Amino acid sequence: MAGAYQAPYNGCVLPRLVVIVGPTGAGKTRLSLELAAKLGGEVVSVDSQQVYIGMDIGTGKVTADERARVPHHLLDVVRPDQEMTMRRYMELADAAIADVAARGRVAIICGGTGLYVRGLLLGLFEGPPEDKELRKELVALGAENLHAELTRVDPDSAKRIDRNDLKRMVRALEVYRLTGETMTAHQARHDHKTMPRRYEARLVGLAPEREQLYAAIDARVDAMIGSGFEREVEALRAAGFVPPLRSQQAIGYAELHDVAAGTLDRGRAIELIKRNSRHYARRQLSWYRPDQTITWYASAADVDLAELERYLAKL
């Protein structure tokens, strides 16, 4: 079984983790599968879109064959019209990690949702409780105005949050209006330098050179289209899962819903998916870069798997 450490906050003995992070298209999935095969591990996803049932191609989920070889957790957890909060994600992830460790296996955390990684390792940022009237007022502004307002008061959060992510923009502005401080300022006090870790973890970051990453993203989008991404969106629409559901505003899904609705040309949609994916990759890197506990590699091939194996085996 993997080594464990005595958690200082509650006296529980918890497993050591390897956490694979980085931008979309960097090769995280390939590395997680390789590491799991070498160590007898199981993968716990930290992807806010892969939790949705029926959203497989556009979220880059592992295939059925890959799941048969390596067990995966926190995929296909909720329907596209259901909400997945970070608190719920943490509960499910903690349970999955405990289950994996109890069976003598290694839990490998892999995914690109930085907010989920932060919550899993550092716990929740306990901001002010929601103000329903304020939220109603903010939602009424619309995504474009919300993004403009967030850019004005908290430019760092505006860079990190997708301009179509209404929920997170509303929360960031709600925190600012209720506390007089930006979400960025609050999170600066809730980071790896000041907060005790919930798990001892080795963070492995993949960050290819920009041109290489962008080429990989473009190729990935083409592969998704070739694998039936449009049919997947058509099936979601037939089941009643359409915008403005948050799940259907994800990159790729939003653009293809517009194609299906007749408001966007197919060729232009594919261009936008590639562009928006590249922009998302930049936001992901901006999120992770301040964390000096991450060891960065240009590719999965550069990662020293033997060293990770030694780390996990330490008591």
Under a CB-based contact definition with an 8 Å cutoff, are residues 296 and 31 in contact? no
Q: Order the strands of the 106-110 sheet from edge to edge.
A: 72-73, 41-45, 106-110, 17-21, 201-206, 294-297
Mean pLDDT of 28-33: 95
pLDDT-derived band at 80 (thresholds 50, 70, 90) equals very high
Sign of CA dihedral 107, 113, 118, 124: negative
Under a CB-based contact definition with an 8 Å cutoff, are residues 62 and 89 in contact? no
pLDDT at 111 over 90: yes
pLDDT at 6 over 50: no
Predicted local distance difference test score (pLDDT) of residue 1: 36
Domain finish residue from 188, 212, 232: 188
Predicted local distance difference test score (pLDDT) of residue 9: 39
- For residues 204 and 270, membership in a common domain is answered with yes
Predicted local distance difference test score (pLDDT) of residue 293: 92
Q: Which residues span the domain enclosing 160?
A: 132-188
pLDDT-derived band at 191 (thresholds 50, 70, 90) equals low
pLDDT at 10 over 60: no
Report CA Rg, the chain.
20
Domain finish residue from 173, 188, 203: 188
Calpha distance 293→73 (Å, rounded)? 25
Share of the chain above pLDDT 90, in %: 60
Alpha helices (H) along 180-294: 183-188, 210-226, 229-238, 253-260, 266-288
Residue reference for tokens 């979601």: 236
Name which of 42, 15, 54, 43 is nearest 228 in CA terms: 54
- For residues 112 and 169, membership in a common domain is answered with no
Share of the chain above pLDDT 70, in %: 92
- For residues 23 and 37, membership in a common domain is answered with yes
Calpha distance 55→234 (Å, rounded)? 11
Residues 6+ apart with CB under 8 A from 227: 57
| SS3 state at 21 | strand
Calpha distance 178→158 (Å, rounded)? 18
Predicted local distance difference test score (pLDDT) of residue 194: 58
- % helix, strand, coil for the chain, step of 5: 50, 10, 35
Q: What is the pLDDT of residues 221-237, one digit of tens each?
A: 999 999 999 999 999 99
pLDDT at 251 over 70: yes
Predicted local distance difference test score (pLDDT) of residue 8: 34
- For residues 36 and 56, membership in a common domain is answered with yes
- For residues 166 and 261, membership in a common domain is answered with no
Predicted local distance difference test score (pLDDT) of residue 157: 85
On average, the pLDDT of the chain sits at 89
- For residues 91 and 197, membership in a common domain is answered with yes
pLDDT at 314 over 90: no
Mean pLDDT of 24-53: 94
CATH number, domain containing residue 94: 3.40.50.300
Q: What is the pLDDT of residues 124-162, one digit of tens each?
A: 766 777 888 888 888 888 888 899 999 999 888 888 788
- For residues 203 and 84, membership in a common domain is answered with yes
Mean pLDDT of 247-260: 96
**307 or 255, higher pLDDT:** 255
- For residues 104 and 170, membership in a common domain is answered with no
Mean pLDDT of 265-278: 97
CATH number, domain containing residue 168: 1.10.20.140
Domain finish residue from 164, 188, 212: 188
pLDDT at 5 over 70: no
- For residues 103 and 164, membership in a common domain is answered with no
Q: In the chain, how many domains are there? A: 2
Predicted local distance difference test score (pLDDT) of residue 7: 41
| pTM of the full structure | 0.81
- For residues 153 and 60, membership in a common domain is answered with no
- For residues 245 and 304, membership in a common domain is answered with yes
Predicted local distance difference test score (pLDDT) of residue 313: 78
Under a CB-based contact definition with an 8 Å cutoff, are residues 249 and 49 in contact? no
Do β-strands 13-15 and 72-73 pair in parallel, antiparallel, or remain unpaired? unpaired
- For residues 88 and 218, membership in a common domain is answered with yes
